[in-house]
Structure 1
Amino acid sequence: MPDAIPPYLFAGGIRLSLNHRVILSDIRLQCHEHRVTGLLGRNGSGKSCLFQIIYGLLPAEKSVQLNGHIVYDAYKHPHLVTSLPQFHFIPPSATIRTVFKNFGLDPAAFTALFPELRAGNNTAIGKLSTGERRLVETYVIIKSPSRFSLLDEPFSGLSPVQVEKLMQLIRTETQNKGFLITDHHYRQVMAISDDVYVLKNAKTYFVTADEDLDLLGYTPGTRT
């Protein structure tokens, strides 16, 4: 029987205006299975809005497709798409044991990778530090049994060692899925990504080298 799982996630024709201001226009990007697609852009450029539109949480003119089939509400299909938002999405009362059970994951594998998080499996997520909580949330989305994962600022508030471990984990998990990632740690995004887009002036631009970032005005000295 042919594999019915979509090999790519496509987003195009996306337009969003808020308070008479054009936030997104002429958006087009594609994320393939077994690859990492990076999205760069300055603060306020609309990166998080774009992620929410793709995931189906923000109404907008759009065409989101999985292998050529239009999907209106990706969040209703977690076996296909999962998403890490910038904010904490796991209820603070949920225990670590419950979180990992709900995602079908083994908490022992997590603590083996991040032994510095010494909280017990019965510890409520809300009792963790901000960084620890972010680490748990990022890990379960990366490891979730979906075909694509959207990661919005996955490295926020984490130590350099933790960021490096997550980067290695993402690369390993490309054996199972595709990733769309955005983060202000632009060097890490460039290093981990197979394909990179820059969001500027409400449009997406495909880039292939650091020189392209310079041409688009997205350089280490000028980004905000």
Structure 2
Amino acid sequence: MSQSVLKISGLKVAYGGIKAVKGIDLEVNQGELITLIGANGAGKTTTLKAITGTLPSGKMEGRIEYFDKTLAGVPAHQLIHQGLAMVPEGRGVFTRMSIHENLMMGAFIRNDKADIEADIEKWFSVFPRLKERAAQLAGTLSGGEQQMLAMARALMSHPKLLLLDEPSMGLSPIMVEKIFEVIRDVSKQGVPILLVEQNAKLALQAANRGYVMESGLITISGDAQSMLTDPKVQAAYLGE
């Protein structure tokens, strides 16, 4: 039995009278790439914010366990020290810092200087565009380049769990292909990933298991390959 990395039980989130998440269960085990798909407003990003403790003022119920320990009360800035990294929707790069400085920020909890530089070179080899622009301010990059940088920065921390929120949003098809290639490669290296994504087909093709979220509830879950051929999933999310 694989070790549980993340286990969500009975999660509910409400903002005032609006119930964004209505009691969901979700699990990510060691070595898994799990995807959470669904339409805009389904509650996917709220779920990630609940995990990372970055919810705006709202009422939250339920239990979130990370390596069998509750995340309740753990400040968001402490999570990176516990190996939990997130690439937020909209990239969230440090716009007034260079690409190189952004990558160094990703490694700020590390003090192994030689290995940090080796990792920077590693990600430059994966994303040659970043290497060409290493001294350029991150705010001047295209959306796709910023997504590359945000992913490389998160991976500089050597995460034990990587959360990705809509990594393909607003990107060109060729850039989406590159981002998903990296997601698959990172997963093959054994890093557990929870991927929130609107491109259901690509997400399910890459994932081990999937969850479909609708109006704050998990409505379908199971093996990702089986979900690709599920008539309900095809009709709602795969355009078939």
Q: Is TM > 0.5 for Structure 1 vs Structure 2?
A: yes
* Higher mean C-alpha displacement, 70-79 vs 177-186: 70-79
TM-score (norm 1): 0.85
Per the TM alignment, residue 114 of structure 1 is displaced from its structure 2 partner at its CA by 2.7
Pair 1:33–1:143, CA change in 2 (3 A): farther
- Once the two structures are superposed, the pairs formed by residues 70-149 of structure 1 within 5 Å of their partners are 70-72=70-72, 73=74, 75=76, 76-78=78-80, 79-104=82-107, 105=116, 106-117=119-130, 119-142=132-155, 144-149=157-162
What amino acid is aligned across from residue 207 of structure 1 in structure 2?
G
Paired with 1:87 and 1:130, the residues of 2 have a C-alpha distance of: 9
Per the TM alignment, residue 127 of structure 1 is displaced from its structure 2 partner at its CA by 1.9
- Picking from 211, 215, 225, the partner of 1:197 is 211
Instruction: Give secondary structure in 1 for the equivalent of 2:236.
Output: coil
What amino acid is aligned across from residue 179 of structure 1 in structure 2?
I
What amino acid is aligned across from residue 9 of structure 1 in structure 2?
L
Percent identity between the two aligned chains:
21
Paired with 1:201 and 1:65, the residues of 2 have a C-alpha distance of: 23
The CA deviation string for residues 40-61 of structure 1, in whole angstroms up to 9 with x for no partner, is: 1111111111110011111522
Could you tell me which residue of structure 1 aligns to residue 61 of structure 2?
Answer: 61
Pair 1:211–1:11, CA change in 2 (3 A): same
| Residue ranges of structure 2 left out of the alignment (5+ in a row) | 108-115
The alignment's C-alpha RMSD in Å is 2.4
Aligned residues: 217
**In 2, are the aligned partners of 1:152 and 1:183 still within 8 Å (CA)?**
yes
TM-score (norm 2): 0.80
Paired with 1:193 and 1:39, the residues of 2 have a C-alpha distance of: 10
* Higher mean C-alpha displacement, 147-156 vs 201-210: 201-210
| Residue ranges of structure 1 left out of the alignment (5+ in a row) | 1-5
Paired with 1:55 and 1:138, the residues of 2 have a C-alpha distance of: 17
Q: Does 1:184 align with 2:187?
A: no
Could you tell me which residue of structure 2 aligns to residue 47 of structure 1?
Answer: 44
- Picking from 185, 200, 206, the partner of 1:172 is 185
**In 2, are the aligned partners of 1:82 and 1:146 still within 8 Å (CA)?**
yes
Instruction: Give secondary structure in 1 for the equivalent of 2:237.
Output: coil
- Picking from 28, 31, 34, the partner of 1:31 is 28
- Comparing both structures, which one devotes a greater share of its residues to helix? 2
Instruction: Give secondary structure in 2 for the equivalent of 1:134.
Output: helix
Paired with 1:48 and 1:56, the residues of 2 have a C-alpha distance of: 12
Could you tell me which residue of structure 2 aligns to residue 17 of structure 1?
Answer: 14
Paired with 1:24 and 1:157, the residues of 2 have a C-alpha distance of: 25
